[in-house]
């Protein structure tokens, strides 16, 4: 049986199947012309089940759901939970209201712990937004999603700056220790803001566990990663954690604690 896994974010839709985890990416923001080709590709796979995570584009999610119904595919948009449990791990969601946590952040946390077990993790996703989440290892197989930070991602920072100050050009230059041109000043400000956000969170995570592992993902990760590597030698770029989390939940369905 083919299970289709879908991660619908604010800019991009990533998908794969349970048997073939190689992800495909479609940038959906400001576009609708991709649906026909995408649906044709999905039809060719003849999935019987769809497991997704959606935090954006309700019209697109609705259209996809209708398409799944039209073809008799069983679908689930997986929401955050108070606790995820499978044969190897238990992850507790410490958000004040666990259901208010972004489904992508929760599913990515499950993917992160599944991919890098045995460690306290700082999971950084630099996409439309940058999210920096701490997952503390409590004991063998037992973890807590302690909480995290949300800030604009690099592209949104640039947009916010140039929307708010129209006299600034929206050109992104390169990082410089002492920028002497506007485009470099903007690039350096944005990169340093992203790096600072991660380092502050890492400091706080290190109070809970002295040796956290940083996992970095997202479409904008490549822009910032070179500037983080100097400060954090043990940095792993690990994309598609949401899809990995969905895979873990799809496999665990029936045995997980869905609260
Ligand atoms: N070709 C591209 N198209 C769109 N965004 C891109 C592209 N390459 C890099 N990016 C960056 O990736 C971000 C989107 O990352 P992604 O992880 O897909 O986000 P989301 O999960 O929010 O959909 C954009 O805001 C932009 O900064
Ligand atoms: C913070 C987010 C907008 C990130 O979305 P992304 O940039 O990954 O598309 C998303 O996780 C979300 O809508 N969260 C709900 C609020 C929360 O997590 O507290």
pLDDT digit string (tens) for the chain, length 259 residues: 899 999 999 999 999 999 999 999 999 998 889 999 999 999 999 999 999 999 999 999 999 999 999 999 999 999 999 999 999 999 999 999 999 999 999 999 999 999 999 999 999 999 999 999 999 999 999 999 999 999 999 999 999 999 999 999 899 999 999 999 999 999 999 999 999 999 999 999 999 999 999 999 999 999 999 999 989 989 999 999 999 999 999 999 844 434 3
* Cα 234–chain centre separation: 20
Residue owning the nearest CA to atom 4 of ligand 2 = 129
Asked if CATH classification 3.30.420.40 holds for the domain at 83-252, the reply, yes or no, is: yes
- Phi first, then psi, for residue 239 (nearest 5°) are -80, 170
112 Cα to the center of ligand 1, angstroms = 20
- Same topology, domains 3-77 and 83-252? Answer is yes
Q: Residue 253: its pLDDT value, please?
A: 83
Q: Residue 1: its pLDDT value, please?
A: 86
Q: Residue 30: its pLDDT value, please?
A: 82
CB 130 within 8 A of CB 219: no
3-state SS assignment for residue 95 = coil
Beta bridge partners of 134: 122, 147
Question: Which numbered ligand comes closest to the C-alpha of 104?
Answer: 2
Name the nearest CA neighbour of 76 among 92, 61, 59, 56.
61
Q: Residue 254: its pLDDT value, please?
A: 44
Domains of the chain: which residue ranges?
Answer: 3-77, 83-252
**What number is the ipTM of this complex?**
0.95
238 Cα to the center of ligand 1, angstroms = 15
Q: Is any atom of ligand 1 closer than 6 Å to the C-beta of 102?
A: no
Q: Is any atom of ligand 1 closer than 6 Å to the C-beta of 27?
A: yes
Asked if CATH classification 3.30.70.20 holds for the domain at 3-77, the reply, yes or no, is: no
Q: Is any atom of ligand 2 closer than 6 Å to the C-beta of 125?
A: yes
């Amino acid at each position: 049986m083919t299970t289709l896994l879908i991660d619908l974010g604010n800019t991009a839709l990533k998908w794969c199947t349970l048997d073939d985890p190689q992800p495909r990416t479609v940038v959906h923001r400001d576009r609708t012309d991709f649906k026909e080709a995408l649906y044709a590709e999905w039809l060719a796979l003849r999935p019987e089940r769809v497991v997704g995570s959606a935090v954006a584009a309700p019209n697109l999610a609705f259209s996809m759901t209708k398409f799944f119904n039209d073809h008799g595919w069983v679908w689930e948009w997986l929401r955050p939970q108070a606790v995820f449990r499978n044969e190897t791990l238990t992850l507790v969601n410490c958000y004040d209201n666990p259901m208010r946590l972004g489904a992508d952040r929760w599913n990515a946390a499950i993917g992160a712990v599944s991919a890098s077990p045995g460690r306290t993790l700082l999971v950084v996703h630099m996409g439309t937004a940058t999210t920096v989440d701490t997952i503390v290892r409590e004991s063998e197989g037992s973890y807590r999603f302690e909480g995290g930070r949300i800030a604009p991602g690099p592209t949104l920072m640039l947009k916010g700056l140039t929307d708010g100050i129209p006299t600034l050009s929206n050109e992104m230059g390169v990082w410089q220790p002492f920028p002497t041109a506007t485009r470099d000043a903007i690039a350096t400000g944005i990169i340093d803001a992203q790096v600072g956000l991660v380092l502050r969170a890492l400091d706080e995570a290190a109070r809970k566990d002295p040796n956290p592992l940083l996992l970095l993902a997202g479409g904008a990760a490549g822009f910032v990663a070179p500037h983080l590597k100097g400060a954090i030698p043990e940095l792993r770029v690990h994309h598609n954690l949401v899809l990995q989390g969905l895979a873990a939940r799809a496999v665990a369905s029936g045995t997980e604690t869905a609260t």
